Structure 1
């Protein structure tokens, strides 16, 4: 009797456990079999069209900023910078750009060096002319200048040398002519020295635009080759190559325009400096003439005393 009760209780417990596990499964199956309730369709608002426009197979135009409608960046229309254009350029265009950049560096180097050289030379010569303004002879002028090196000191040295080697000659005009010839050589040498480097400026100013144009033509040729290979005229394919080509022309102009301006500036500055050298040559010639007249005057006085 006790065993039967125990057996019945155990069977009831097992049945309860099985029912607890299977009840949720039956509930989910019943819910799945029921048809979904119809939901009322929302009426289109006044601001929103009732039907969405149908898309065609044609490709929509991309925004000007180079982004697609979903916000991704188009590779060919990404933001271009001078450095990225240089790195993507052909080897010939790169060589042109590097050469033009070096030419521009040479131009600015000549500007700094020539400005310092001309400034110092004009200052020395102006100071020397002021020092000999009260001198009555070439020896006094040399004492006033001292050991300072300037075109005026070279002119005085040439005049003294000519007077010394022509001692005993009766013709003063011959001495002056030979002194003027020596002065002309000194002035030409000073002009050549001051014009050193001007040839580079003239060459850069004349050839840099054409070199840049060569790089542009080469880059555009490569762009057309790329268009023919890709068989498309999409802006993503055409724009980078043309931009790289135009960059070569821009660098050529950047190198040429300052070179022409600096060349014209130094042409005027050198002309002013050479006019000062001509003044120094005239001052040395006047001192030589005074010494010659003084020597002849002392000779006449000595003969008169005899």
Structure 2
């Protein structure tokens, strides 16, 4: 591998940097977008069961907010219902929507960088190949003849950059698409959870009024 890097020349160093960044972003997103950290399976049912008997206390809401992303969204609605006991459905829904937008924005962190690497890596590989071809044919002396085997070897070396760029771009693009789909699924789950909690909060507000 080190001999291939040496043969590919200096244009491969930006590709190596892209590969390291892509790997770091993929690992970070795999750890951050786990279901247990975003939408724990039993959390919504527990909150619904607790809220049917009345609004929970501030300490419970604080623990819920620190529990997960779903907890943050549900806690935003509960805080709004506690701070404004006579709030209507529109006000409570707005609290859920604001918290949901902030949560989705946080879930999308670093995805644009990963998508940029997936788009730029093939272009960087092509740039390295062009630079290698220019250097190869520029080294041929006019009228001095040329060795076909040497030219073929030089072309294969120049194509290392393209191959390396594609090797970076393909998994980066696949993981980017995977993470985008996962974020969309989480956004839908957060929205559905808020819709299930909203009627209970509206009922408590009506009783308070």
TM-score w.r.t. the length of structure 1 is 0.60
The alignment status of 1:134 with 2:49, answered yes or no, reads yes
Q: Please state if 1:115 is matched with 2:30.
A: yes
| Structure 1 unaligned spans of 5+ | 1-81, 297-306
Secondary structure of 1:125 counterpart: coil
Q: Which has the higher helix share?
A: 2
Tell me the residue number matched to 1:8.
none
Unaligned runs of 5+ in 2: none
Q: What residue number does 1:151 align with?
A: 69
* Structure 2 partner of 1:196: 109
Relative to structure 1, is the Cα distance of residues 140 and 283 closer, same or farther in structure 2, using a 3 angstrom cutoff?
A: farther
| Cα distance change, pair 230–236 in 1 and its aligned pair in 2 (3 A) | farther
Please tell me whether the aligned partners of residues 48 and 197 of structure 2 are also in contact (alpha carbons under 8 angstroms).
no
Q: Which of the residues 67, 84, 90 maps onto 2:3?
A: 84
1:255 maps to which of 165, 168, 172: 168
What is the TM-score of this pair, normalised by structure 2? 0.84
Whole-Å separation in 2 of the counterparts to 1:267 and 1:206? 15
Task: Tell whether the 8 Å contact from 1:202 to 1:260 is kept in structure 2 after alignment.
Answer: yes
Cα deviation, residue 233, structure 1: 2.3
1:51 alignment partner in structure 2: none
Partner of 2:184: 271
Residue 16 (structure 2) aligns with: 101
Of structures 1 and 2, the larger Rg is shown by: 1
Q: What is the alpha-carbon distance in structure 2 between the residues aligned to residue 182 and residue 142 of structure 1? A: 17
Q: How far apart are residue 229 of structure 1 and its match? A: 5.7
2:157 aligns to what?
A: 244
Separation (CA, whole Å) in 2 of partners of 1:187 and 1:282:
12
How far 1:202 sits from its partner (Å)? 0.9
The 3-state SS of whatever aligns with 2:55 is helix
Q: 1:1-306 to 2 correspondence within 5 Å?
A: 83-89=2-8, 93-94=9-10, 96-119=11-34, 120-122=36-38, 125-135=40-50, 136-137=52-53, 139-140=55-56, 147-148=63-64, 149-167=67-85, 175-228=88-141, 231-296=144-209
**Which one scores higher on RCO, CA 8 angstroms, separation ≥ 6?**
2
Offset, 1:295:
2.6
